Amino acid sequence: MFSGFMANTWIVATVVAAVAGVVGFFVVIRGSSFAAHALPLGAFPGAAAASLLGVNAIFGLVVFSAVGAIGIGQLSKRGKRDVATALILVVLLGLGALFLSMTSEYAPEIYSLLFGEVLGIAKDEVGPIIGLGVVAVLAIGLLYRPLMLSSISPELGEVQGISTSKMELCFLLVVALVTAMALPVVGALLVFSLMVGPPAAARAFTNRPQVAIVLSAAVALVTVWASIAISYESNWPVGFFVGGFGAGSYFIGRGWTWLSRAYATRADTAVELEHAA
């Protein structure tokens, strides 16, 4: 399972997992999970459009997810974010139906765009995927402090002159980049499971934001590596394991939070009782 054609799979899956884990931290603390779900689904028609025009699918994905990000960012300035997100998603999916009817793509290829094709990454996809991943992580590093403050509390950000809507737009564009790089690997339906499960688990285990980000990337890596290995051995789809491990890590995180808070409360009560005695 580490032979020739699998090498690309391991490299690409590793990059995708690490980047999704890092960017996902902000998806989770900003409450942007719906956008992180909508952008990949909305970007998926981009791949169909790209095949109509005869260009690299990643190019179509970048364009469509970026258009989706800008659309959500602009519309949610005036209305509720979830409605804006849903509207953009509907428009892009409508285009997807149109493009798919025009292409001669076979059903298996569409299936792989939806559910991923991690075991069959083409050689010419490796370079662009790594490139987009590097750009996404650099962007997060650059935006780190204002994005963090604006995510914690938009008002506190505004006080320091950080525009909430600009931060939202910048962040959605980063999510769009991750979408475009991760979609061919894990599929439109599962990109966001890597951006939500691991960070949601990681935030339970530490109070330090930077440690949480590293931990989130680590959980995403383990999720993806384990999923590929088990999928290779069992012949069950990778997506099944990615989704399952993602949700599993979330519940472990929740359980940990619950246990540690219950323990803290009990310790407090014990101290109070001691004082009272």
Residues that bind another protein in the complex, under the rule CB under 8 A: 29, 141-146, 148-149, 151-153, 155-162, 202-203, 206-212, 257, 261
Tell me the C-alpha distance between 117 and 47, whole Å.
14
Q: How far is the CB of 85 from another protein (least distance, A)?
A: 20
By beta-carbon proximity to another protein, the closer residue of 4 and 161 is 161
Q: List for the chain the helix, strand, coil content (%; round to 5).
A: 85, 0, 15
By beta-carbon proximity to another protein, the closer residue of 124 and 155 is 155
DSSP letters, 45-90, are: HHHHHHHHHTS-HHHHHHHHHHHHHHHHHHHTTTS-HHHHHHHHHH
Q: How far is the CB of 2 from another protein (least distance, A)?
A: 34
Closest to 13 in 3D by CA, of 186, 235, 143, 134: 186
Phi, psi of 211 (to 5 degrees): -65, -40
Q: How far is the CB of 263 from another protein (least distance, A)?
A: 13
Residue type, 14: T
Tell me the C-alpha distance between 82 and 126, whole Å.
33
Tell me the C-alpha distance between 59 and 64, whole Å.
9
By beta-carbon proximity to another protein, the closer residue of 102 and 262 is 262
By beta-carbon proximity to another protein, the closer residue of 157 and 246 is 157
By beta-carbon proximity to another protein, the closer residue of 51 and 150 is 150
